[in-house]
Amino acid sequence: MLERAASLAGAAGGGEPHFSTDDLERSGDIRAAFSWTGWRLRLLVLAALLASLAVATTARLLAVSPLLLAEWQVTAQQQLMLHDSPERELHPYFGRTLTAMSGADGQRFEVDALALQRSPRWQVDDERRRRQITMQQRMAAAFAAGRVNLHFSDGDSVEVDTQRRGIGGLGLLFVPLSTLALALMLLGSVVVLARPQLRNGLYFVMALCQGIGLLFVAVGSARCLGMPTALLEHDMLLRMALDGVTAAAAVHAFAVHPRRLPQARLIAVAAWTSAAAVLLLAGAGALASLWWWAQGLALGLGAASLAVVSVSYRAEPNPFAAVMRRIGAAALATLALATLAVAAAASEPGAGPQATASIAATVWAVFFASLLLLLPFLDRARQLLREFALLAGIGTVAVSLDLLFVAVFALGPVASPTLAALLALAVYAAARQWILNQMAGSGALTTERAFEQLYRVAREIQEHPHQRSRLSARLLRELFEPVEVLRVERPAGRARVVGGGSALLVPMPRPGVDGPAADSLLLRFARGGQRLFTQHDARLADRVVDQLHRVVAYDLAVERGRSEERLRIAQDLHDDIGARLLTLMYQAPTPAIEDYLRDTLKDLKTLTRGLARSEHRLSHAAAEWKADIAQRLAMVQIELGWSFDIDEDLLLSMMQWSALTRVLRELVSNIIVHASATRVDIVLRLQQRRLRLSITDDGRGRQPAAWSNGLGLGGVRKRVKLLGGEVRWRENLPRGIVCEVEVAEFGPRR
C-alpha cells in the first residue's frame, strides 16, 4: 500500500482531495494488470465465442431468408415501380407499378413503399409501423414457398421464383457493421475482465447493448425485398430496450465514476426505474406514439447523464469527467438533431426522405458505437479511433441536415444533399483539430514547447542541485498545469498514465543510482482538470526527467573531475615543491631564512591538505583557520580573539573553502605586515544562510577609503564577489581597522 508522503499543492478551491492510493495500485496498462491466464482467459475465450456465434447466427438467419431479386423505385404515390432484375421473366415488366403480391395459397395482399423500409425502429407513425411489420411478414410467408405472384397496376401478373439470399445477398454494409458490433462486444468483455468492478460492468452493458443494436442495423442494411420475420417482429421493442438500458447504464456509470457522488445509489435507482417503467409500458402496448417515447427516453436519460457528470466535475475537477461531458454533449446534440430530422422527414412524401432517415439512423448508431470504442483508449491517443468517431458524427450531421433542408426549406433532391455535404465538410475542415482535442481532452504538450522551461530549470538545478526535487516538481507543474502534485513512495522505472488518464506517475531518480526510482511524483488532473494525461505526456515527462537527471549527473562528473585534479595537484605540490622547500630549509644560511621556509612549508601543508580533501565542513574548516591564524599571530606576539557561531554546519564547496581561506590569510597577513597591532578579533557567524565575517585590529591603519587597490586587497574583493557577497573596510575607534565580509545567501556546496 502506498502512503502519501507530501502534498505539494492542494486541490482547486482548497478542498480536501478525493484520492485513494488504492486507485493508483489498480491503475495502469491493462496488459500489465494481470496475466491473461486462468479464469480470465477462459471467460474471454467464452465471450469471444458467444459474440462470434451471435454474429454468425445473425448472418445465417439473414442468408437463409428468401428474397426476390429485383430493384424498385418509389413513385410519387408511394408505390413500387420495377426498375431492374436479373430474372428474365420480369424484363417485360420494367417500368410497371406493383400493387400486390400473392403466395402459393393464393391470398393476395397489397404492397407499397413500406416494403423497402427495413427496420420499424425508426418508423415515426405507429400505424405505418404496424402496417410495415404486417406487410413484411406476409411477404416472408409468400417468399418461403419458393414462388410468388406479382400483380401490377395494369392488371397483368407474373409468377417468379424466389431464392435464398445467401452470403452475397447480405449487402455491402453487413460485414463492416457486424465487425464493428463484434469489436464492441469483445472490447466490453476485455474491459470488465481486466478490472471486474461496477463501472466496467456498466461499460460492458452499454457495449453489449449497442453491439446487439448494430447487428439489427446490419440486418436492416440488406438489399432486395424480403426480411427475416424472427428479427422484424420484435425490432422496435428490442432496440428501444437496448437504447434505454444503455442510457440508464450511462447515468449509473457517471454517478460512480470518476467520483462516486453521495446520491449515487438514488441516481442509479431513478435512472433504472425510469427506463424499466417506460419499457414495461411499451411492452404492454400502453404507449401511443411509441417512437417518440423511445427517443424521449434516450434523450432524457442522456441529458440526465450530462447533468450527473457535470455535478461530478464540480465536486472534483477530474479531466475524465470533463471529457465525458464534452463527448456526451456531442452525442446528445447529434441524437437530438437526428431525431428532429427523422420526425421532419416522416411527413414528407416519397421514398427519398424515408431512405435518408434510415441512413441517418444507421450513421448515428455507428457514431455512438465509435464513441464507446474510443472510451477505453482516451489516454492512449488513438488517432484512428478519434478520426473514425469524428467522421461518423459529421456524417450524422450531414444526413440530418439533408432531411431538415428537404422538410423545412423544400430543397430539391440535388440541392439538399449537396448543401448538407458542403456544410458538414466546412465544419470538418475548419474545426477538425479542435473537435478532436475536445473529444479526448488532448492538446498535449510538445518537446519544443517545453524546451524553454526545461532549459531554465536545468540552469537553476545547476546552481542549486540540492533543490532538484522541488525544481523538477515545479517544472512538471508548469508543463502540465495539474490541480495537484503528490509525492508517493512508489518505485517506478518510467513515467506512466494511471487512473484512466486522470493522473501521471513520474519517477524521480537519484543521480548516480541505477534502477527504479524509490520516490515518484503523482500529477493529478492536467490543465486544471480540463484534459486527460496521455501516453505522449508520459514520454515527454520521461524525457524531461532524464534531461534533468543528466544535468545533475554532469555536474557530479565535473565535480569528480575537479576533485581528482585537485588531488593530483596537491600530491605534486607535496612531493615536488614540499621536498624542495624542505631541502632549502636544512641548507638555510641564517635562522631567519630557516624560520621563513618552515612557515612556508606549514602554509603549503595547509594548502595541500585542503586541496586533497573532498569535503569541508564549515566547523572543521573554522577550526583549521583558527589554529593557523593563532600560530601565525603568536609568532609576532599578537593576541587573537575568536568568535564562531553557526546555526547550520554546512558542507563547503572547494571554491567556498578556498575563497574564505585565502581571504582570512590575506587579511591577517596585512595586519601582521602593516598594522603594528597588538590584538586581532575575528567573528564568524552564520544565521539563516547569512554569513558574516569581521576582522578587527587595533593597529595604526586609517582612512581605508584612500587605500590603493593592490593585488592583496583586489584579491580579497574578487574572492568575496565569487562567494556572492560584499566586503568593506572602516576605521575602528579608538584605533585600528575593521574589515567586514557579508554573504546574504551562503548555500551548501554544489
Predicted local confidence at residue 593, as pLDDT = 76
Which residue, 623, 585, 587, 584, is CA-closest to 606? 623
Q: Domain-by-domain residue ranges, the chain?
A: 4-62+181-361, 66-164, 445-614, 618-750
From first CA to last CA, the distance across the chain in angstroms is 36
Number of neighbouring beta carbons within 10 Å of residue 197: 12
Residue 29 has a pLDDT of 43
Query: Is residue 731's pLDDT more than 50?
Result: yes
Greater pLDDT, 207 or 168: 207
Strands 71-74 and 80-84: antiparallel
The C-alpha cell 454533449 sits at 329
Q: Please report which confidence band the pLDDT of residue 273 belongs to, taking 50, 70 and 90 as the band edges.
A: very high
Name the DSSP letter for residue 529.
G
Instruction: Centre a 10 Å sphere on the Cβ of residue 91 and count the other Cβ atoms it contains.
Output: 11
CA 8 to chain centre: 20
pLDDT in tens, 635-675: 889 999 999 999 888 888 777 888 898 889 888 888 888 88
The pLDDT assigned to 558 comes to 63
Say which residues have a Cβ less than 8 Å from residue 542's Cβ, sequence separation at least 6.
494, 495, 506
User: Does the pLDDT of residue 269 top 90, yes or no?
Assistant: yes
User: What's the whole-number mean pLDDT along residues 292-310?
Assistant: 94
Beta strand 520-524 pairing with 484-488: antiparallel
Specify whether the CB–CB gap between 143 and 66 falls below 8 A.
yes
CA 739 to chain centre: 59
Residue 686 β-bridge partners: 646, 691
Output the CA angle 560-566-568, nearest 5 degrees.
105
Is the separation of the CB atoms in 214 and 177 below 8 Å? yes
How many other CB atoms are found less than 10 A from the CB of residue 121? 24
Is 209 in contact with 245 (CB distance < 8 Å)?
Answer: yes
Count Cβ atoms within 10 A of the Cβ of residue 541 and give its class: 0-12 exposed, 13-18 middle, 19 or more buried: buried
Contact 261, 267 (CB under 8 A): yes
Model confidence at 238: pLDDT above 60: yes
H-run or E-run covering 181: helix 174-194
**Averaged pLDDT for residues 161-170:** 83
Across 156-166, average pLDDT: 88
Q: Are 455 and 523 in contact (CB under 8 A)?
A: no
- The predicted pLDDT at position 2 comes to 32
Which CATH number is 66-164 given? 2.30.42
Neighbouring CB atoms inside 10 A of 382's CB total 18
pLDDT of residue 330: 83
**One-letter amino acid for residue 404 of the chain:** L
Q: How confident is the model at residue 13 (pLDDT cuts 50, 70, 90)?
A: very low
Average pLDDT in the 454-466 region? 63
Q: What is 618-750's CATH number, 3.90.1170.10, 3.10.110.10, 2.60.40.10, 3.30.565.10?
A: 3.30.565.10
Provide the 3-class DSSP secondary structure of residue 384: helix
Q: What residue type is assigned to position 98 of the chain?
A: L
Q: Which residue has the higher pLDDT, 569 or 715?
A: 715
Using the predicted structure, report yes or no on whether residue 705 has a pLDDT greater than 70.
yes
Residue 161 CA to residue 144 CA, distance in Å, equals 10
pLDDT of 310 over the 60 cut? yes
Q: What per-residue confidence (pLDDT) applies to 401?
A: 61
Mean per-residue pLDDT for 185-198? 89
User: What are the cell numbers at 654?
Assistant: 572547494
Q: CATH fold of 445-614, please?
A: Beta-Lactamase (3.30.450)
DSSP secondary structure code for residue 671 in this structure: I
Per-residue pLDDT, averaged over 572-593, amounts to 70
Dihedral angle sign, alpha carbons of residues 67, 70, 71, 76 = negative
Rounded to an integer, the average pLDDT of 249-260 is 93
Average pLDDT over residues 80-97: 90
- Over range 497-524, report the average pLDDT: 72
3-state secondary structure (DSSP) of residue 533: coil
* Amino acid at the residue 451: F
Question: Of 153-162, 607-616, 646-655, 706-715, which gets the smallest average pLDDT?
Answer: 607-616
- What CA–CA distance (Å, rounded) separates 205 from 639? 92
Q: Which amino acid is at 702?
A: R
User: Confidence class of residue 608 from pLDDT cuts 50, 70 and 90?
Assistant: low
Instruction: Tell me the pLDDT tens digit for each residue of 224-236.
Output: 787 777 667 778 8
Q: Which amino acid is at 602?
A: K
Per-residue CA distances from 571 to 200, 205, 408, 747 (Å): 70, 78, 97, 29
* Residue that wins the pLDDT comparison between 31 and 71: 71
Residue 352's pLDDT is 54
Q: Is the pLDDT of residue 369 over 90?
A: no
Reduce the DSSP state of residue 85 to 3 states and report it: coil
Q: 101 near 151, Cβ under 8 Å?
A: yes
485 DSSP β-pair partners: 523
Specify the higher pLDDT residue, 349 or 483. 483
Contact 212, 54 (CB under 8 A): yes
| DSSP code string of 572-639 | HIIIIIHHHHHHHHHT-SSHHHHHHHHHHHHHHHHHHHHHH-S-EEHHHHHHHHHHHHHHHHHHTT-E
CB 683 within 8 Å of CB 664 = no
pLDDT band at 516 (very low <50, low <70, confident <90, very high): low
How does pLDDT run across 477-506, given as a tens digit for each residue?
877 888 888 887 766 678 888 877 788 888
With a CB cutoff of 8 Å and minimum separation 6, the contacts of 699 are: 671, 674, 675, 676, 677, 735, 736, 737
Q: How many CA atoms are closer than 13 Å to the CA of 348, on its beta-carbon side?
A: 25
Q: At a CB cut-off of 8 Å and minimum separation 6, what does 618 contact?
A: 646, 649, 650, 651, 652, 686
Query: In degrees rounded to 5, what are phi and psi of residue 503?
Result: -145, 160
Q: Which helix (H) or strand (E) holds 468?
A: helix 468-480
Count the helices and strands in the chain (H runs, E runs): 22, 20
Residue in this structure with the C-alpha cell 599578537, named with its chain if needed: 638
Q: Are strands 639-646 and 679-687 parallel, antiparallel or unpaired?
A: parallel
pLDDT for the residue numbered 265:
94
* Average pLDDT of the segment spanning 383-399: 59
Q: Which residues pair with 4 in a beta bridge?
A: 488
Is the predicted pLDDT of residue 457 greater than 50, yes or no? yes
pTM over 0.85: no
DSSP string spanning 343-372?
A: HHHHTS-SHHHHHHHHHHHHHHHHHHHHHH
Q: Residue 89 corresponds to which cell in the numbers above? A: 421473366
Cell 426549406, located at residue: 409
Question: Looking at residue 333, what is its pLDDT?
Answer: 86
Bigger pLDDT: 411 vs 364: 364
- Beta-bridged to residue 66, according to DSSP, are 164
Per-residue confidence (pLDDT) for residue 1, from 0 to 100: 28
State the greatest distance between any 2 C-alpha atoms of the chain, in Å, as a whole number. Answer: 149
Q: Tell me: pLDDT of 736 over 70.
A: yes
* The three-state (H, E, C) secondary structure of 682-740, written as one string: EEEEEECCEEEEEEEECCCCCCHHHCCCCHHHHHHHHHHHHCCEEEEEEECCCCCEEEE
Across the range 17-32, mean pLDDT stands at 43
- The residue among 263, 231, 213 whose CA lies nearest residue 136 is 231
- 126-154 burial: b if 16+ Cβ within 10 Å, else e: beebeebbebbebbbbbbeeeebbbbbee
Query: Mean pLDDT throughout 342-364?
Result: 70
More confident residue, 464 or 742: 742
**% of the chain surpassing 90 pLDDT:** 19
